[in-house]
Amino acid sequence: MRPLYVDTSALLKRYVSETFSKQSSEIIAKFEDIFTSQITITETLINLRKRLSKSEFAIAAKLFKEDIRTFNVISIDEKLSYEASDVADGNSLATLDALHIASALRFKGANISFLTYDKTQAVIAAKKGLEVLGG
């Protein structure tokens, strides 16, 4: 089975009930080889803290930390930073979204699927040749 790259918008849905939460969890559950970026850790925890009460955050953060240990976390290095800049060139793409796409593109030869619920990011990821999953 091909690997899956999960961006923050998709991963957050596992811990916060919102549109496509069930779908996101079901898609993630189908894959064994899951990748995400190092920035997902920071993005997810900050967003959970903003959206949840302290007690809800404690539970969600614990679940997230258990999940992330099972993922392949891609480090952000200088080369990836330049690759993300190239991804964003000519596109109205946020910096972190460009880093997610560049991270996934490192595995393009493995036919990696890209799970996102960010519409702009999904369009650019598809243009870059990634199979996009999500809403």
pLDDT digits (tens, 9 = 90+) for 67-117: 999 999 999 999 999 999 999 998 889 999 999 999 999 987 778 999 999
pTM, 2 dp: 0.93
Residue-level pLDDT at 1: 76
Tens of pLDDT, residue by residue over 1-43, are 789 999 999 999 999 999 999 999 999 999 999 999 999 999 9
* Four-point Cα dihedral 6, 110, 3, 17, nearest 10: 20
Of 107, 106, 109, 114, which Cα lies nearest the Cα of 130? 114
**Which residues have C-beta within 8 Å of that of residue 66, sequence separation ≥ 6?**
none
Whether the per-residue pLDDT at 125 is higher than 70: the answer is yes
* Domains in the chain, CATH or no CATH each: 4-133 (3.40.50.1010)
**Which residues have C-beta within 8 Å of that of residue 108, sequence separation ≥ 6?**
128, 129, 130
Sheet of 72-74, strand order: 72-74, 34-37, 4-6, 113-115, 131-133
The pair of three-digit structure tokens given for residue 83, joined into one six-digit string: 């690759």
Of 111, 107, 118, 125, which Cα lies nearest the Cα of 19? 118
